[in-house]
């Protein structure tokens, strides 16, 4: 009972001390709250995903029990492993018949009925085609070209269903009526505005020639190709974001019925009184059918044991684990370093109070608890404030970052994280006050009553011993960290078997990586402490203001050491983040083709044929001339490919004869390379050798090989984009450093390669012309080599794998070419402003596609990305400034008496300002360089570790983003100096008395 009464007295003293020093309490609470807010917002934005269950529920029309998609995935006896929310992507087999309506009716309740509907791929929407509502005609290439030449054209997707299903699928109309017959159609306001249509007008939808690209609708684009139909617009849906139309069935469904429907996915609405259960969904999965049921998503959601096992991307998980460990370790250390000085000052401010309490019978435990309880209260309050501020931050940022609606935000907030956040913040507050409370409990009562520094502490830090120990132990710990880092790089790690699979041996490497990071952080802390403590023993020949400031920092090391460590940690975290961001972007860039800033490539958004696509591109160039002036434009081509539909059922010689007309060309590696390809794994040439003329190629997993490079931005044309046919003038427009040399090579009958490993020492490459064949089992066999040719070559880093002139292509026997688009050179305007204007202009031209350079900065792809990237860097820089300013503000409470004394004996206000500036520099000058060096080293090591493990690419470059690094360092030091000049100004009420 006595213990409880004593605790009540301690609580009163703690509360009185917190209220007396409101500024300190507010500072410490906010310094805990802000990182907790950042943790909640960061965790949500990094791991939060849109609420798929809610979105899946919204995808089921009102009145329907479920939505069913019978896919054309090959039936092999295994179920389609879908989550309850449905599946997003799958690979259809073009010869596979989906589950029939009769098969599905055996599974769904007998009282329910299936209502079929059809979704199209991208169609051409046009006005004034001459067709009457209900009229269907074949859309020949010439007629499509004539349509596109007119104004009032755009693109759209069509949903076709029966009367009952259409009434359920149609959104609410803003004007007009639902289709009452097969000749009427409803369109979105976005489509109507693009083509200039209104209610009562006639609209024609044209299915362009199939280009070989399949989607989750299967072969629907191939089945309806080269067909067109007209409707009368009866209603409009208010939606400017999409171009879509809804009509009665008959057009697409009729063509699918006549085709037979192999490879075409079927869509159904289940309507009735009885729900579709998870058990019935799993039965449909055996038919390779995906079902999204209202009952399953609401009342009958299956537990974990009933669902299919989840596939976890181990590589991504490992990457997140490393980043999370680094961020949390540095974040906790940062908060401790920011909060601890406040309570250290509190101990010095409350010496007499503690002395009186001890003299009145309070024991060391009571004195410790008085400060420990303040830390617990500040930590708890900071956690609650950070939690509330985090919710506000999520509402502000989640819609734009993870693309969720406002009403969906409560479902992405990690509510289960909040108790952990409050508990963590409370523990941080307790740990932050542990050392000051321990010192308070050991305080000498007499020294405390006389407000005199404790003799034991004064003697302990009077000499250089503690500083020397810290200076020695710090580098030793950092050497141990280097040892762990080197060892982690030497751990044998197997090649990645497939994307998302963790390499064998990477677990040990991860443990060593974490050990290296932790040891390096502890070593930095020891090193900083040693530097601060020995400040008083150096600079004896320096001016008085500098010498006094250094001595003050050494004597009050409990305040300056944590502040300096906080600066080191914030700068290290910012520098580390910049290395990671720049290197990740460079890794992404190496997996894509690069374009120069002086040109763009314009192509057809909905490819039809060479003549029509040329006309669309020419019209686009003419219209874009008002936005940016083009100096010249030249066509580029690729190797044509046979229509997948025409070869679908071919076998043997007939198949070989077709593909013999469409041979492919590739540049063989100068060093012979035989990479294994089997059913389980596929290998290809490593990425590094493709970008290094002196590198030696070797086989790696296909996911991180040179063959996995993406041809981003080009339209989905039936072609082989790995071989580009272009003129020398077109090559000169690319803006690459050696474009002129490459153009001369093309003029001389040579080729341009993007793979450095293909280039021989004599500047030539071996070209192999081959075509696909079928083996005896009817599967794709080995390539049949037609011929080989040695040609002069120029290597262009980041360019397409192979480029040649049309004359060279015909000399190699390549006669079937496909028009890709025009490369257009910008006139007098180079850089990003013209490209951004063109990108905005082409967004309003639905038939034109633009490909351009998209890596604007080392640290971001564009201006919007740069803002997102720079936001955490700026926040960390502000934290470094906060650590400095808080330390100076806290020191001001102790130095006010020293200022009065110095002013009394003749010190000028300028001297006092210089003294405060020196104190700031004792924090910033060691903190900023040490933090940047540590962050750079940690970032470079992390990238080297990724390169060694081989996660998500080859990681060819380590990009520190030097411009950002230097700008951050200069900004923090300059802003810190300015803040110190303002914060440490002497009080205006200082007076020099005559008696002094």
Q: How far is CA 684 from CA 207, 503, 700, 831, in A?
A: 38, 18, 6, 35
> Are 734 and 769 within one domain?
yes
> What is the residue whose two structure tokens read 């599974």?
107
Contact 51, 41 (CB under 8 A): no
Q: Is 124 helix (H, G, I), strand (E, B) or coil?
A: strand
The two three-digit tokens of residue 608, written as one number: 């039809």
CB 355 within 8 A of CB 428: no
Query: Is the distance from CB of 761 to CB of 818 less than 8 angstroms?
Result: no
Predicted pLDDT of residue 994: 44
Does a structural domain hold residue 410? no
Same domain for 967 and 929? yes
> What digits encode the pLDDT tens for the residues 326-383?
667 767 777 777 777 767 766 666 666 666 666 676 667 777 777 778 888 888 999 9
Boundary residue ending a domain (819, 851, 883): 851
Residues 818 and 875 grouped into a single domain: no
Tell how strand 751-753 and strand 784-795 pair up: parallel
Do 663 and 754 share a domain, yes or no?
yes
Question: Beta strands 764-771 and 664-668: pairing type?
Answer: antiparallel
What is the total residue count of the chain? 996
Q: Quote the DSSP letter at residue 498.
A: S
Q: Are residues 554 and 612 in the same domain?
A: no
Nearest-10 Cα torsion for 805, 808, 810, 811: 170
Is residue 226 in some structural domain? yes
The answer to whether residue 406 sits within a structural domain is no
The gap from C-alpha 356 to its chain's centroid, in whole angstroms, comes to: 58
Which residues does residue 592 pair with via DSSP β-bridges, in sequence order? 710
Tell me which H or E stretch contains 381. helix 364-401
Q: Are residues 759 and 887 in the same domain?
A: no
Residue 131 lies in a domain: yes
Quick check: helix, strand or coil at residue 780?
Answer: strand
Backbone angles phi, psi at 817, to 5 degrees: -115, 155
Same domain? For 605 and 749 the reply is: yes
- pLDDT at position 48: 62
Residue 146: inside a domain, yes or no? yes
- At what angle are helices 962-983 and 909-949 packed, to 10 degrees? 150
CA separation for the pair 334, 878 (Å, rounded): 13
- What global pTM score does this model have? 0.76
- The single-letter DSSP state of residue 505 is T
Do residues 914 and 545 make contact, with C-beta atoms less than 8 angstroms apart? yes
Cα–Cα distance between 766 and 979 in angstroms, integer?
65
Tell the residue number behind the tokens 């998609």, with chain if given.
69
- 821: which strand partners? 636
655 and 751 both lie in a single domain? yes
- Is residue 179 domain-resident? yes
pLDDT of residue 416: 83
Question: Does some domain include residue 430?
Answer: no
- Helix ranges (DSSP H) in 708-778: 728-732, 739-747
Query: Is residue 152 located within the same domain as residue 213?
Result: yes
The three-class DSSP label of residue 164 is helix
- Asked if residues 824 and 600 have their Cβ atoms less than 8 Å apart, the reply is yes
Distance CA 637, CA 652 (A): 30
| Dihedral class, residue 292 (left if φ above 0, else alpha if ψ from -120 to 50, else beta) | beta
Task: Provide the token pair at 767.
Answer: 């070209």
Mean pLDDT by 10 residues, the chain (996 residues): 62 77 77 82 72 84 94 90 87 90 93 94 87 87 59 87 94 93 95 91 92 84 92 94 93 93 94 94 94 92 85 63 69 74 68 68 73 84 91 85 79 85 87 75 62 50 62 86 84 56 65 81 81 68 74 72 81 87 83 71 87 88 81 90 74 80 89 69 78 82 71 66 91 87 94 92 92 70 84 90 94 92 78 76 84 74 72 78 73 66 72 79 86 89 79 79 90 85 70 47
Taking alpha carbons only, the member of 730, 717, 718, 720 closest to residue 806 is: 730
- Residues 845 and 194: their CA atoms lie apart, in Å, by 9
The CA–CA distances, whole Å, from 834 to 57, 635, 749, 823, 944 equal 43, 21, 34, 15, 37
Assess contact for 243 and 156: CB atoms under 8 A. yes
User: Residue 246: is it exposed, middle or buried by C-beta count within 10 angstroms (0-12/13-18/19+)?
Assistant: buried
Domain membership of residue 689 as a residue range: 593-851
**Last residue in a domain, options 832, 851, 870:** 851
pLDDT of residue 990: 58
Beta partners for residue 792, in sequence order: 764
Q: Are 768 and 668 in contact (CB under 8 A)?
A: yes
| DSSP secondary structure of 669-711 | PSS-----B-SS-BEEEBHHHHH-TT----EEEGGGBGGG-B-
For residue 797, the surrounding DSSP H or E stretch is none
608 with 677, same domain? yes
Burial of 260 (0-12, 13-18, 19+ CB in 10 A): exposed
| Cα separation, 597 vs 780, whole angstroms | 40
191 near 245, Cβ under 8 Å? Answer: yes
Per DSSP, 537 falls in state G
Q: What tokens does 881 get?
A: 């400034």
Please count the structural domains in the chain.
3
Q: End of a domain among 293, 323, 350?
A: 293
Quick check: helix, strand or coil at residue 68?
A: strand
Query: Phi, psi at residue 114, to the nearest 5°?
Result: -105, 125
CA distance readout (Å), 40 to 340, 392, 422, 430, 619: 23, 10, 11, 21, 50
- Nearest Cα to Cα of residue 749 among 667, 820, 807: 807
Contact 261, 97 (CB under 8 A): yes
C-alpha radius of gyration, the chain, whole number: 35
In a domain, 341, yes or no: no
Q: What angle do CA 642, 644, 650 make, to 5 degrees?
A: 90
- Regarding whether 281 and 156 lie in a shared domain, the answer is yes
What six digits make up the tokens of 560?
């300056």
Q: Can you spell out the DSSP letters for 869-887?
A: HHHHHHHHHHHHHHHHHHH
Distances (CA, A) of 988 to 885, 900, 985: 20, 11, 9
Q: What's CA 844's distance to the chain center, in Å?
A: 27
Q: Are residues 189 and 265 in the same domain?
A: yes
């Amino acid at each position: 009972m006595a213990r409880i009464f004593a605790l009540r007295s301690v609580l009163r003293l703690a509360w009185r001390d917190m209220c007396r020093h409101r500024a300190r309490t507010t500072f410490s609470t906010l310094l805990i709250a802000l990182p907790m807010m950042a943790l909640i917002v960061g965790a949500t934005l990094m791991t939060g995903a849109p609420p798929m269950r809610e979105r899946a529920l919204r995808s089921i029309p009102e009145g329907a029990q479920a939505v069913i998609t019978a896919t054309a995935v090959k039936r092999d006896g295994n179920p389609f492993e879908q989550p309850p929310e449905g599946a997003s992507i799958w690979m259809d087999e073009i010869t596979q018949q989906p589950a029939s309506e009769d098969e599905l009716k055996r599974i769904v309740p007998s009282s329910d009925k299936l209502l079929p509907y059809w979704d199209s791929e991208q169609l051409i929407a046009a006005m004034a085609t001459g067709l009457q509502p209900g009229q269907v005609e074949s859309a020949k290439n010439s007629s499509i070209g004539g349509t596109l030449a007119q104004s009032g054209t755009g693109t759209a997707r069509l949903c076709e269903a029966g009367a009952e299903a259409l009434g359920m699928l149609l959104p609410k109309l803003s004007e007009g009526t639902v289709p009452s017959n097969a000749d009427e159609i409803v369109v979105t306001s976005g489509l109507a505005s693009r083509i200039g249509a209104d209610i009562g007008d006639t609209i024609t939808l044209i299915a362009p020639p199939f280009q070989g690209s399949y989607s989750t609708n299967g072969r629907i684009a191939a089945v309806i190709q080269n067909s067109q139909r007209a409707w009368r617009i009866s209603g409009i849906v208010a939606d400017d974001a999409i171009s879509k139309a809804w009509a009665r069935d008959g057009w697409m469904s009729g063509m699918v019925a006549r085709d037979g429907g192999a490879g075409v996915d079927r869509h159904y609405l289940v309507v009735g009184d009885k729900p579709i259960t998870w058990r019935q969904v799993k039965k449909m999965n055996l038919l390779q059918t995906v079902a999204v049921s209202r009952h399953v998503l609401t009342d009958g959601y299956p537990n974990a044991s009933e669902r299919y096992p989840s596939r976890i991307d181990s590589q991504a998980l490992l990457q997140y684990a490393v980043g999370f460990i680094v961020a949390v370790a540095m974040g906790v250390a940062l908060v401790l370093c920011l909060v601890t000085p406040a309570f250290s000052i509190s101990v010095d401010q409350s010496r007499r109070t503690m002395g009186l309490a001890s003299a009145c019978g309070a024991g060391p435990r009571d004195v410790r608890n008085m400060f420990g309880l303040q830390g617990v209260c500040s930590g708890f309050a900071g956690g609650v404030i950070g939690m509330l501020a985090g919710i506000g931050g999520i509402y502000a940022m989640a819609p734009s970052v993870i693309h969720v609606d406002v009403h969906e935000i409560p479902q992405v907030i990690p509510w289960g994280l909040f108790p952990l956040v409050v508990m963590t913040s409370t523990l941080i507050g307790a740990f932050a006050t542990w050392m000051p409370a321990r010192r308070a409990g050991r305080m000498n009562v007499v020294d405390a009553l006389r407000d005199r520094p404790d003799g034991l502490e004064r003697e302990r830090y009077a000499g250089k011993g503690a500083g020397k120990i810290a200076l020695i132990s710090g580098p030793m710990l950092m050497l141990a960290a280097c040892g762990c880092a080197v060892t982690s790089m030497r751990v044998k790690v197997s090649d990645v078997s497939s994307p998302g699979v963790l390499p064998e041996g990477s677990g040990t490497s991860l443990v060593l990586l974490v050990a290296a990071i932790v040891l390096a952080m502890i070593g930095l802390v020891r090193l900083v402490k040693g530097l601060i403590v020995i400040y008083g023993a150096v600079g004896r020949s320096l001016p008085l203001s500098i010498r006094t400031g250094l001595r003050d920092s050494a004597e009050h090391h409990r305040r300056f050491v944590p502040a300096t460590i906080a600066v080191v940690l914030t700068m290290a975290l910012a520098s580390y983040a910049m290395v990671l961001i720049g290197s990740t972007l460079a890794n992404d860039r190496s997996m894509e083709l690069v374009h120069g800033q002086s040109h763009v490539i314009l192509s057809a958004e909905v490819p039809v044929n060479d003549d029509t696509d040329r006309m669309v591109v020419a019209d686009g160039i003419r219209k874009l001339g008002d936005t940016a002036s083009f100096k010249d434009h030249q066509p580029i081509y690729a190797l044509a490919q046979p229509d997948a539909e025409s070869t679908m059922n071919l076998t043997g010689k007939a198949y070989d004869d077709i593909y013999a007309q469409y041979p492919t060309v590739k540049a063989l590696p100068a060093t012979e390379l035989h990479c294994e390809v089997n059913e389980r794994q596929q290998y290809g040439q490593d990425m590094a050798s493709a970008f290094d003329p002196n590198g030696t190629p070797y086989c790696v997993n296909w996911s991180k090989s040179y063959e996995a490079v993406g041809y981003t931005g080009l339209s989905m044309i039936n072609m082989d984009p790995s071989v580009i046919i272009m003129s020398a003038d077109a090559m000169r427009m690319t803006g690459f450093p050696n474009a002129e040399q490459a153009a001369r090579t093309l003029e001389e009958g040579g080729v341009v390669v993007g793979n450095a490993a293909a280039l021989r020492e004599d500047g030539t490459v071996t070209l192999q012309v081959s075509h696909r064949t079928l083996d005896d089992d009817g599967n794709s066999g080995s390539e049949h080599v037609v011929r080989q040719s040695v040609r002069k070559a120029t290597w262009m880093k980041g360019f397409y794998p192979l480029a040649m002139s049309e004359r060279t292509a015909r000399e190699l026997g390549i006669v079937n070419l496909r028009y890709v688009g025009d490369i257009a050179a910008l006139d007098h305007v180079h850089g990003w402003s013209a490209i951004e204007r063109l990108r905005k202009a082409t967004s309003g031209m639905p038939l034109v596609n633009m490909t351009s350079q998209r890596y604007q900065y080392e640290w971001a792809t564009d201006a919007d990305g740069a803002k997102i990237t720079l936001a955490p860097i700026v926040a960390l820089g502000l934290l470094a400034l906060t650590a400095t300013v808080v330390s100076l503000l806290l020191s001001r409470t102790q130095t006010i008496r020293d200022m009065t004394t110095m002013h009394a004996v003749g010190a000028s206000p300028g001297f006092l300002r210089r003294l405060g500036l020196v104190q700031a520099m004792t924090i910033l000058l060691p903190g900023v360089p040490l933090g940047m060096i540590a962050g750079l080293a940690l970032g470079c090591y992390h990238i080297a570790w990724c390169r060694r493990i081989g996660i998500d690419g080859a990681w060819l470059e380590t990009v520190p983003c030097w411009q950002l690094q230097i700008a951050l360092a200069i900004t923090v030091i300059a802003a810190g100096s300015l803040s110190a000049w303002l914060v440490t100004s002497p009080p205006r009420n200082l007076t020099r008395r005559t008696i002094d």
